[in-house]
Amino acid sequence: MSNVENSASDPVTDSIFGKIARKEIPVDAVYEDDFVIAFRDMSPQAPVHILVIPKKPVENALALTDADREMAGAVLVAAAEVARRLGIAESGIRIVLNAGADGGQTVPYLHAHILGGRHLGWPPG
Q: Does 41 bind ligand DGP (CB under 6 A)?
A: yes
Q: Is 119 a catalytic residue?
A: no
User: How many whole angstroms separate alpha carbon 106 and alpha carbon 58?
Assistant: 14
Burial of 124 (0-12, 13-18, 19+ CB in 10 A): exposed
Residue 120 touches ligand DGP, criterion: CB under 6 A = no
Q: Are 57 and 21 in contact (CB under 8 A)?
A: yes
Q: How many CB atoms lie within 10 A of CB 103?
A: 13
For ligand DGP, the binding residue among 98, 110, 114, 115 (CB under 6 A) is 98
Applying CB under 6 A, does 16 fall inside the site for ligand DGP?
Answer: yes
Among 77, 107, 117, 120, binds ligand DGP (CB under 6 A): 107
* Residue 73, C-beta contacts closer than 8 angstroms, at least 6 positions apart: none
Q: Kindly state whether residue 101 participates in binding ligand DGP, applying the rule CB under 6 A.
A: no
Smaller CB distance to ligand DGP: residue 85 or 90?
A: 85
Determine, following the binding rule CB under 6 A, whether residue 73 of this chain makes contact with ligand DGP: no
